[in-house]
């Protein structure tokens, strides 16, 4: 391949520095992404992004086989082993071993960056690293090293595959370098056109092997619509395509466009997590599902629902608030109201607990907030329900952790919508059991602050009635009223627990549950409720209630 031209050393065996066949790995990556296997996709992307400059051929092969393994068996532990192995790769070592071993060349030190190395040599290294090599000098420095007599060059390996190899010009070769035998110049003949063609063909065939498509992939690439019927899973930023004919057009409006600009700098893993876990796809909630709370319902209807439905009418002074606050004891229906707003406005409902931003996504909370709002903006109209918002927007103190402060700042930036236009249809619904802990900035932004109290007698009656309507029971209207009176001070969630406990009564009376049919289980009766009342106690104390009432009088939205 190279002619020594009588030189004792100085030319480089290119095979040794063609460390990474970037093209092949790219091809493989693309074939993975067509395969809708998210695990291997993300892993290969991660490896690719982190190591694209640092891999040798052996490692690359390892990655390819590991990727295939992960692709075949996504739940295999190999993904972890693979990742930790990669983190042990020393790019410098790989780089050093790829350099020519000339006895007048001295590697003097690692320098500047982890992928740069200082080389001191009497040879003209420009000749070592001619155009055909993949090593490009970053910059030159005057040598500080007494052993060196030449320039010190810093090299950054950029591993691209030389497609057609050229001989080194003899006139530029460097004299007086003795090259150890194992690194001897490759003395294969200079490639003819035919040999170059052969090599090109071999390369293409390798690429073809790497980009081999399964029957399913081939079908999908020739007929993308077939994806609908094949039940392929989605990639992080991909649109959901309904298998129902004609449903696709309807969805175009609701789903974010693939590759939406607003998601450009957002981590795909976070987008996927938000799409899968934070978007609430539960059953829609209607106003009639929420017992009592008439005041809160009418304020929300007017201030939030109508404007989200008719943004053209609610402009200027009528412009809706960006955020509302629902405060009150636990289990009183705050989440239910958030869901109901989203259902009424046909909006996407994002539900997240603020405390999880500081605990579950340690170190990533800030990014998560940015991702959440970016995805929500792609799904407009959208309702972002932030439970326990006090843990995110509590009054600042000296002891406040830097990470929490950053999350809070990011939230306020996103909330104010500095990056977006005025016409966005995004509502933040904050919920808290500790409104007194919110700081001024948060209070000011959540302009409508609605007290969600414990259910009154009528509301408790309605909750019991609604829940029992789905069960076999023998309670009369009077029985239900009696039970409603007896559970004064219970939250909606407590009333639900009471009903669930009562519903266990008929089952507990059974002697042999295995042999009885479902229709033989007796209906729930009022005695079951009396027993349940002994077991299920209210979860909210009178003292707590006093605090809410006081805060409501000061900051709440009056009746």
Residue with smaller CB distance to ligand ATP, 34 or 461: 461
**In this chain, which residue has its C-beta nearest to ligand ATP?**
492
Contact 385/335 with Cβ under 8 angstroms?
yes
* Shortest separation between residue 338's beta carbon and ligand ATP, angstroms: 8
Instruction: Based on the shown chain and the rule CB under 6 A, indicate whether residue 387 belongs to the binding site for ligand ATP.
Output: yes
Residue with smaller CB distance to ligand ATP, 275 or 387: 387
Checking DSSP bridges between strand 105-110 and strand 323-327, what pairing results, if any? unpaired
Instruction: Based on the shown chain and the rule CB under 6 A, indicate whether residue 320 belongs to the binding site for ligand ATP.
Output: no
Instruction: Based on the shown chain and the rule CB under 6 A, indicate whether residue 453 belongs to the binding site for ligand ATP.
Output: no
Other Cβ atoms less than 10 A from the Cβ of 260: the count is 17
* Shortest separation between residue 392's beta carbon and ligand ATP, angstroms: 15
Residue with smaller CB distance to ligand ATP, 290 or 325: 290
Distance, in Å, from the CA atom of 134 to the CA atom of 112, rounded to the nearest integer, reads 19
Instruction: Based on the shown chain and the rule CB under 6 A, indicate whether residue 325 belongs to the binding site for ligand ATP.
Output: no
Q: Which of 34, 334, 377, 445 binds ligand ATP (CB under 6 A)?
A: 334
End-to-end CA distance of the chain: 89
Instruction: Based on the shown chain and the rule CB under 6 A, indicate whether residue 455 belongs to the binding site for ligand ATP.
Output: yes
Q: Give the contacts of 122 (CB within 8 A, at least 6 positions apart).
A: 104, 105, 148, 149, 150, 176, 177
Q: In what order do the strands lie in the sheet with 152-157?
A: 105-110, 117-121, 152-157, 135-141
Distance, in Å, from the CA atom of 40 to the CA atom of 272, rounded to the nearest integer, reads 14
Residue 473 preceded by cis peptide, ω within 30: no
Give alpha helix (H) positions in 52-143.
Answer: 57-72, 78-87, 91-98, 125-128
The footprint of ligand ATP on residues 254-283 (CB under 6 A) is: none
Q: Which of the ranges 21-29, 131-139, 330-338, 392-400 carries the binding residues for ligand ATP, by CB under 6 A?
A: 330-338
Phi and psi at 219, nearest 5°, equal: -65, -45
* Shortest separation between residue 455's beta carbon and ligand ATP, angstroms: 5
Per-residue contact string for residues 95-134; x = within reach of ligand ATP by CB under 6 A: ----------------------------------------
Instruction: Based on the shown chain and the rule CB under 6 A, indicate whether residue 496 belongs to the binding site for ligand ATP.
Output: yes
Instruction: Based on the shown chain and the rule CB under 6 A, indicate whether residue 291 belongs to the binding site for ligand ATP.
Output: yes
Cβ-count burial 317-343 (b if 16+ within 10 Å, e if not): eeebeebbbbbbbebbbbbbbbbbbbb
* Shortest separation between residue 549's beta carbon and ligand ATP, angstroms: 16
Instruction: Based on the shown chain and the rule CB under 6 A, indicate whether residue 335 belongs to the binding site for ligand ATP.
Output: yes
Q: Which of the ranges 84-92, 203-211, 331-339, 440-448 carries the binding residues for ligand ATP, by CB under 6 A?
A: 331-339
* Shortest separation between residue 524's beta carbon and ligand ATP, angstroms: 17
The helix/strand/coil state of 377 is helix
* Shortest separation between residue 358's beta carbon and ligand ATP, angstroms: 17
Distance, in Å, from the CA atom of 260 to the CA atom of 378, rounded to the nearest integer, reads 8
Tokens coding 463 = 């909750």
Number of residues that bind ligand ATP (CB under 6 A): 20
Instruction: Based on the shown chain and the rule CB under 6 A, indicate whether residue 435 belongs to the binding site for ligand ATP.
Output: no
Q: Which of the ranges 2-10, 106-114, 151-159, 290-298 carries the binding residues for ligand ATP, by CB under 6 A?
A: 290-298
Other Cβ atoms less than 10 A from the Cβ of 210: the count is 18
Distance, in Å, from the CA atom of 388 to the CA atom of 370, rounded to the nearest integer, reads 18
Residue with smaller CB distance to ligand ATP, 292 or 556: 292
The footprint of ligand ATP on residues 392-431 (CB under 6 A) is: 431
Which H or E element spans position 49? helix 38-51
Instruction: Based on the shown chain and the rule CB under 6 A, indicate whether residue 484 belongs to the binding site for ligand ATP.
Output: no
Instruction: Based on the shown chain and the rule CB under 6 A, indicate whether residue 463 belongs to the binding site for ligand ATP.
Output: yes
* Shortest separation between residue 330's beta carbon and ligand ATP, angstroms: 3
The sign of the dihedral angle between the CA atoms of 60, 66, 68, 70 is negative
* Shortest separation between residue 546's beta carbon and ligand ATP, angstroms: 18
Q: Which of 10, 37, 51, 332 binds ligand ATP (CB under 6 A)?
A: 332
- Identify which of 130, 454, 447 has the alpha carbon closest to the alpha carbon of residue 320: 447
Instruction: Based on the shown chain and the rule CB under 6 A, indicate whether residue 333 belongs to the binding site for ligand ATP.
Output: yes
> In Å, how far from its chain's centre is CA 471?
40
Residue with smaller CB distance to ligand ATP, 66 or 459: 459
C-alpha dist (Å) from residue 245 to 242, 250, 466: 8, 11, 36
Residue with smaller CB distance to ligand ATP, 443 or 496: 496
Instruction: Based on the shown chain and the rule CB under 6 A, indicate whether residue 336 belongs to the binding site for ligand ATP.
Output: yes
Where on the chain is the footprint of ligand ATP (CB under 6 A)? Answer: 290-293, 330-336, 387, 431, 433, 455, 459, 463, 492-493, 496
């Amino acid at each position: 391949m190279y002619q020594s031209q009588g030189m004792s050393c100085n030319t480089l065996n290119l095979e040794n520095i063609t460390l990474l066949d970037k093209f092949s790995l790219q091809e493989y990556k693309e074939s993975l992404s067509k395969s809708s296997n998210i695990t291997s996709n993300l892993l290969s992307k991660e490896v690719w992004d982190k190591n694209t400059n640092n891999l040798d051929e052996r490692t690359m092969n390892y990655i390819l086989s590991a990727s295939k393994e992960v692709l075949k068996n996504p739940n295999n532990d190999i993904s972890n082993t693979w990742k930790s192995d990669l983190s042990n790769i020393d790019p410098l070592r790989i780089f050093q071993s790829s350099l020519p071993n000339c006895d007048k060349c001295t590697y003097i030190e690692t320098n500047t960056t982890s992928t740069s190395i200082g080389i001191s040599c009497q040879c003209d290294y420009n000749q070592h690293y001619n155009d055909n090599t993949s090593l490009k000098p970053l910059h030159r420095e005057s040598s500080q090293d007494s052993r060196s007599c030449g320039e010190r060059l810093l090299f950054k390996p950029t591993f691209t595959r030389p497609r057609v190899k050229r001989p080194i010009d003899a006139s530029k070769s460097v004299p007086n370098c003795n090259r150890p035998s194992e690194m001897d110049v490759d003395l294969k003949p200079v490639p003819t056109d035919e040999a170059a063609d052969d090599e090109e063909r071999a390369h293409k065939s390798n690429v073809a092997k790497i980009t081999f498509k399964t029957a399913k992939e081939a079908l999908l690439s020739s007929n993308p619509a077939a994806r609908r019927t094949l039940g392929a899973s989605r990639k992080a930023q991909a649109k959901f395509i309904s298998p129902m004919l004609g449903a696709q057009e309807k969805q175009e409006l609701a789903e974010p466009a693939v590759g939406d600009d607003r998601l450009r700098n957002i981590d795909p893993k976070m987008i996927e997590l938000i799409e899968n876990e934070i978007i609430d796809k539960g059953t829609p909630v209607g106003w009639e599902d929420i017992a009592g709370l008439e005041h809160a319902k009418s304020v929300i209807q007017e201030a939030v629902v109508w404007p989200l439905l008719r943004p053209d009418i609610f402009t200027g002074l009528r412009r809706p608030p960006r955020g509302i606050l629902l405060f009150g004891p636990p289990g009183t229906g705050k989440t239910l109201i958030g869901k109901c707003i989203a259902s009424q406005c046909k909006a996407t409902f994002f539900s997240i607990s603020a405390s999880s931003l500081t605990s579950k996504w340690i170190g990533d909370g800030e990014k998560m907030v940015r991702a959440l709002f970016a995805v929500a903006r792609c799904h407009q109209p959208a309702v972002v329900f932030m439970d326990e918002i006090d843990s995110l927007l509590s009054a600042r103190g000296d002891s406040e952790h830097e990470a929490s402060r950053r999350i809070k700042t990011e939230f306020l930036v996103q909330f104010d919508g500095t990056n977006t236009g005025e016409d966005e249809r995004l509502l933040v619904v904050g919920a808290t059991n500790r409104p007194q802990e919110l700081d001024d900035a948060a209070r000011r932004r959540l302009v409508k602050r609605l007290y969600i109290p414990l259910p009154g007698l009528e509301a408790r009656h309605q909750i019991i009635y609604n829940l029992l309507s789905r069960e076999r029971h023998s309670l009369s209207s009077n029985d239900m009223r009696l039970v409603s009176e007896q559970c004064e001070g219970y939250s909606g969630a407590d009333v639900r627990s009471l009903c669930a406990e009562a519903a266990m009564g008929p089952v507990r009376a059974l002697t042999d549950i295995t042999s009885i049919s479902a229709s033989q289980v007796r209906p729930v009766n009022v005695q079951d409720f009396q027993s349940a009342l002994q077991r299920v106690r209210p979860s909210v104390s009178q003292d707590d209630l006093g605090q809410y009432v006081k805060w409501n009088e000061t900051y709440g939205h009056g009746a």
